[in-house]
Structure 1
Amino acid sequence: MTKNIATSNGTSQEMLLTVPPYSGCHLHVVNPHTGIITLSHYFNLQSPLLDLELTSTLADLRQGRLALLNTYHDATAGLETRARLLLQSHGSWAAPHIRFRDGWAWAWVVGGLTLAEALMTNMDGIYTMTRPLHLQLTLPTHSAERLCSSWPSGGGWEKRHYFCDLYDGYGDLCSCVTPALVPPPPTLKQEWWRENITFIVLAANRPRYLYRLLQQLLTQPGVSPDLVMVSVDGLQEETIRLLELFGLRCFIHTPEGTVTSARISRHLRFALFKALETFEDVDKFIILEEDLILAPDFYSFMQQTSVLLEEEEDSLYGVSAFSHFGSSHTSSDLERLQRVTSFPSCGWMTTRAFLTETLPKWPPAYVTADWDFWMETEVVRGERELVLPEVSRTSHGGVSGSHSGGDLGRWYRDKPLSHLPHTRLNLTAVRRETYEENILEELKRARPLNVSDPFRLVIPINQSAGVWLARVKMNYVEDSSAFRILAQALEVWHADARDHHFGLWRIPYQGVIIFIVGVPYSKYSSLVEGAGQVLHSTPALHAAILNKGLELENMSLEAHQSNDFRHILSLDVEESDEVPD
């Protein structure tokens, strides 16, 4: 991280400071009746969402627990004003006053008084480590009841008593006053319901995220618990006991692979095989991860779009509930769907036929490539595409995760999400022939956009039916540098060239439509020939990005290409398949 340092001549100089590992907040919660630690969690300093994760966790602690919150070296980078004020409202006097490289420890009774608190200010300069902090306290006689006497007897309540005695951070699940019903009462099928669809939930060691997802999933109208299966990666005791409370079908996967990407890939493969074996009469499957947040109309969205996988099985392989290009300035039409060449993410649906075709080709455990990038390749999907919504129906809700930490976590959180219980989707417009006709018609009306300086674009926004066209250099599908520069200028997804339609991106942008066509790769290149200049990736543009304090993540890294996976899987590679230089 960087810090502005005052110099002897009165100027300010930016210095690079090394932040030790595990700098951040450490929370430990103890059951006063048993002395057992019921929650131990580290909140990473590096995450810009530390304050949200911290405050939501504290709000879900059980009344009467003993809690200790402390910092090792520093926590101020992620501890924003809102979090400090909330900590103060819980009884901390020091939270508003913590500064860079101060040491802090606070012990309190959840819902009660502070037991002890200490703040060690760093008087030796920011380049020194914080001095040791010693906190002494006397534990009070526990006054809160160990088990909730107000809970009913029988049923699953004994299991819940046992679970809540061992674990913490579940809010209403363990509330003695307003306990949540687990599982939630069944909901009626709506008029949009078409068929039984199995839910495959992938879980590991984030049970509090899983609890949130299951509560959201099982309260969606028409969702049946007997069609939900959870696959747990490893013998995760807390996760498994939580699933017992819900009475859901559960499978345990023995972890495979030496790196995270391989382990996730093999876990997904295991779960898909189990789903095919277990639900023999089901044709479609929805895959969810434990840290997702579902929109109220998530299941409605999947039920409606399931017909597309039947009618257009030769051109579509799945439906995803998430749009990478969905942002507050690019997403507004809840009814609109789009067809893209991409991989699924954050909640997706596919068919038994596609899984039966794909699973025998799944990469072995020694392959470290992400499964989703592999699925995007023509080796797997062929020429088939994916259906996405303009406005996402899911979002990442986890700060910690293999692909959701740091600034990426904030990007996920800031995306708009559908909030209505049901929206009737425009299925006609996304069918292949109609979709193609509409694209061609809009391209005819598109006016060239001046991209000579992508960071000073002049786009007449909020024009009714305004359509603009930009061309970017793109020799093949992984040749994404020029596109990513323009995407960053438009403040949309720019880490790679995903979610396009044969090399064409259609982006709603503050009331107008912007088409970006990658030339000569896109099949639409000939239709837009001569329509303004082509944006190239140049050293000057890269320098301009850096001067603006921006960064083109992983620009120097080459993405996986289809032939990489062909070689990995020992498939034949035709000379005509080679990617051009």
Structure 2
Amino acid sequence: MVWAGTLAVVVMVIVVVVRGEASVKWRNISRDRRFRPFDLETYERIQAAKERHIHLTLQVADTHVQLFINDVLPEWIMFLSQEAEGALTTLGSKWASRVTQGETWAWVGVLGGTTLGEAVTTRRREQYPSCNLLLDVFVAKTRESGSSRCAWYDVPGMQRQATFCEQYEGYGDLCACEQPFFPETRKLQKAITMHEKIPVVVVTATKPYYLYRLLRQLFTQAGAWQTDMLLVVDGAHQETLSLAGVLGVASLVHRPESVKRNRTNANIRFALQSVFRHFPAADKAILLEDDLLLSPDFLRFFHQVAPLLDRDPTVSCINAFNSNSFPDTAKDPRVLLRARSYPMYGWLASRAYATEITRNWVPEGTGDWDLWLTGERLRKGRDVVSPEVSRTFHAGSSGVHVNGFEQEIYFNRMIYNHDPEVTVGEVDLTVRAKYDELLHRALKTAQSLTPPSRDLCNMTWVPRNSPRPLAIYLYAEDSTDKYHTYEIFLMCFRTYDISTREIYRGVMRLRWGHSVVYLVGCPYSPFCVYSLEKKAYLPSVAELQRAGNFRDDWEMTQVTNNHRLARDPSRPSNLDLTNVLNSGKTQGSSRDA
């Protein structure tokens, strides 16, 4: 990397290693379409397959120098759009537009400058994927010739931010010479009504760019200057800690424990324990992870709904995120919903609940901390409250739980609130007794819909502008959905269909356009009493498969579809289609600038 302000010439070695992976059927990597009961072995197998795929997002900062390193897996080309391909070529890559499916590629260069190294391992006939790739690049770390200091670097009190910007790149307006972002912006935000102090704890590690994006949003929220913040860093990562110092956010370093999900579990527990130790007067706290985007009313939302934790002991926590917050299935940011869900993507917890769950934390090797909390031993019959329209947006694609494919198919389609002045509905109506009363009233007056016997996902049978609630009664014995009856409707509604976590007493509430739709599982739900025909929809295996195919085909319209293949040179030329290249390259060939 070329760092402005480095006087001495330092040699840095960059080693890029790309290993080949076995091919998998990529169209269905986000779910198992065999429609059988869930088992951990199947889940782990699918997760392993998903982790072999990437989603390529190319974002070039407008800074004057930046080193760009790209290394990819063999099937990356399927996810590469023409725009990204053109951008890589413009940056100086000679092979990005020529590499074919099953080949590994790596490129190192300086943005706006020279290609420092590029290599590709190509496939032999009958070989898939190509062999492993090792690329060594030596980069001299020197001051860029002609670089200049920003005028504000010499302003009294700005030395810490100036030093940070001379040492690190990629922070956009934090280091811009014109109209830079100053941490003091936090003090200029509007005040909001607060009945208590609720601190925010942010969990992070090695993604300081994500962290800056999140903290910048927090700093520009109404209520920002009224809100205490704490940063919990998983490991002593100097760049992350330096950023926290520049922004004036208190930070604690958590000594890493274990690896992967066990490490994440331990860091979440440490954050929950630390925030209440650090702010001993606080009765509640908000936990955030660094890969989120925030609605402009994020803090305002939580301060409006916080009293619910005091009034209703059947609520465990309050989420900012709802899994059904999609364009077709969510509309009203004022509405609050209950579900037997779990904490996720920005959530509010009381001191008592945090203490309870950290004392009964997920044992190492058991699974993820959030799924652990759904077990009835810890759930204790309590529900999670969330808004119909989310107040956070998941915007990361390289975490432990969400890969690039899931990010593209699910999370990138979600909506979140953009109105800074939303007043949520009457909070007391979300107390369990009142909520049940309203649900009884809605289903008593609802129009019952009979699903068609074929082509369920032809959604013309569901009105989009019904003045009455709509009810669909489906067969379910419990919330596990072992007959896939909830799942088939979630697929057809094009919402989150991987789990039934947004279910409440056997009922899932969705929008379809401007209509409110209730999916009622019978005989599981006590609300089945409003089914006039006393019949429940149970899909056939054939209909499940048709719905799965519908969902798969629709998903493929949401992602890049780039099947660039290498043609065997011995084959006739009439196979030379527009998306097929004649691969005459040598196995393991490379090109250095």
Q: Secondary structure at the match of 2:77?
A: coil
Question: Counterpart in 2 of 1:307?
Answer: 307
CA distance in 2, matches of 1:441, 1:492: 26
Q: Tell me the equivalent position of 1:394.
A: 392
Q: Name the CA distance, whole Å, in 1 between partners of 2:194 and 2:16.
A: 41
Q: Cα distance 1:122–1:48, how it changes in 2: closer, same or farther (>3 A)?
A: closer
Which deviates further from its counterpart, 511-520 or 42-51? 42-51
Equivalent-residue separation in structure 1 for 2:120 and 2:16 (angstroms): 22
Given candidates 511, 515, 524, the residue that maps to 2:514 is: 511
- How far apart, CA to CA, are the structure 2 residues paired with 1:280 and 1:137? 50
Supply the distance in 2 between the matched residues of 1:301 and 1:241 (Cα, whole angstroms). 30
Aligned 8 A contact 2:197 2:227 in 1: no
Indicate which of 465, 485, 490 corresponds to 1:487.
Answer: 490
Is the alpha carbon distance of 1:97 and 1:172 closer, same or farther for their aligned partners in structure 2, counting shifts above 3 Å? farther
Partner of 2:473: 471
Partner of residue 168, structure 2: 167
Matches within 5 A, 1:96-495: 99-100=100-101, 108-110=109-111, 112-115=112-115, 127=127, 129=130, 143-144=144-145, 148-153=149-154, 157-182=158-183, 184-224=185-225, 227-258=228-259, 260-310=260-310, 312-364=311-363, 366-410=364-408, 411-428=410-427, 429-451=429-451, 452-453=453-454, 454-480=456-482, 481-495=484-498
Q: What do the CA deviations read for 1:197-224 (whole angstroms, capped 9, x no partner)?
A: 1101111221211111111112211123
Instruction: Indicate if the aligned counterparts of 1:450 and 1:458 stay in contact, CA closer than 8 A.
Output: no
**Cα 1:202/1:537, change in 2 over 3 Å:** farther
CA contact (8 A) 1:187 1:221 kept: no
The structural deviation recorded for 1:94 is: 6.2
Distance between the aligned counterparts of 1:86 and 1:196, measured in 2? 47
Q: Deviations over 1:303-356 (max 9, x none)?
A: 11112222x232322211101011010111121111222112110101122223
Moved more, 270-279 or 541-550: 541-550
Rounded Cα–Cα distance in structure 2 between residues aligned with 1:80 and 1:416: 23
Q: 1:36 to 1:529 in 2, by over 3 A?
A: farther
For structure 1, list consecutive stretches of 5 or more residues without a partner in the other structure.
Answer: 1-28, 554-581
Distance in 1, matches of 2:269 and 2:72, equals 40
After superposition, the Cα gap between the structure-2 partners of 1:222 and 1:437, relative to the gap in structure 1 and judged at 3 Å, is: same
Distance 1:107 1:348, change over 3 A: closer
The alignment of Structure 1 onto Structure 2 pairs a total of residues equal to 514
Shift of 1:291: 0.7
Q: Name the SS of the counterpart of 2:187 in structure 1.
A: coil
Shift of 1:241: 2.2
In structure 2, the partner of 1:569 is none
Instruction: Give the deviation of 1:286 after TM superposition.
Output: 0.3
Q: Provide the C-alpha distance between the structure 1 equivalents of 2:368 and 2:154, rounded to a whole number of angstroms.
A: 47
Amino acid in structure 2 at the alignment position of 1:336: V
**Aligned equivalents of 1:134 and 1:320: distance in 2?**
44
> Matches of 1:535 and 1:499 in 2, distance apart?
20
Residues 131 and 228 (structure 1 numbering): CA distance in 2 closer, same or farther, change over 3 Å?
closer
Q: Which has the higher contact order (CA 8 A, sep 6+)?
A: 2
Alpha-carbon shift at residue 472 of structure 1 (Å) = 2.4
TM-score normalised according to structure 1 size: 0.78
1:88 Cα offset (Å): 4.9
Amino acid at match of 2:224: V
1:247 positional shift: 2.4
Percent identity over paired residues: 28
CA distance, structure 1, for counterparts of residue 318 and residue 304 of structure 2 = 11
Per-residue displacement from partner, 1:403-426 (whole Å, max 9, x unpaired)? 221322111121011111221111
Secondary structure, counterpart of 2:188 in structure 1? coil
CA distance 1:377–1:155, shift in 2 (3 Å): farther
> Shift of the alpha carbon at 1:269?
1.5
SS at match of 1:148: coil
Q: CA deviation at 1:391?
A: 0.8
